Amino acid sequence: MLKDNLNEGFLFDLKTLQGLDERIEWFDKYYKFKEHYRDRKFDNIVIQSKLKKITPGDTVYLWLGDEGNEYIWMCAILNFLLKTKLSIYVIDWSKISFNNFHYKELSAYSLQVSAPQDVILASKNFRRLTNPEQNIFSELWINFLKNNSPLRILKELSSILETDIEYL
């Protein structure tokens, strides 16, 4: 589970974790208190160490949805894994029918909000990510790092608005 919300705050390079302390300081300063989410650094170090353990020949399943934070995380992770020769699978949300009687209760655009029985249903809908798709997500992450805006908003799938934190 990826707890750090990449929609807000300055980003950092997962390959080096450079800038993670500045990210944490930004949250402390912006919210004017030591954030209740102080394990952000630990979580990100754990994520980086787990990503480094993935080796060529492994198969990776990314359960990341059509929600802004998860979309940005997918960009970051795919950038991290870009040079590895992996089979990477993602949920194919287009194959999950939310109106069908059988899936009536399915709310699985994000694992975070999924009921256990929904996880089983949605897990049957993985598809292999193509190399061009991985390249696109990786390039998006590079642009996010370069722009490093304090707020990122998913306007529509594959369209992220990067702006000032006072956007509203």
Sort strands 126-128 and 87-91 into parallel, antiparallel or unpaired. Answer: antiparallel
Per-residue pLDDT band at 106 (split at 50, 70, 90)? very low
CA quadruple 93, 97, 102, 103: dihedral sign? positive
Per-residue pLDDT band at 100 (split at 50, 70, 90)? very low
* 70-107 CB burial, b ≥16 within 10 A, e <16: bbbbbbbbbbbbbeeebebbbbeeeebeeeeeeeeebe
What is the C-alpha to C-alpha distance for residues 120 and 108, in angstroms, rounded to an integer?
10
| pLDDT at residue 158, as a whole number | 66
Q: Please write the tens of the pLDDT for every residue from 22-48.
A: 888 888 888 877 665 667 788 888 899
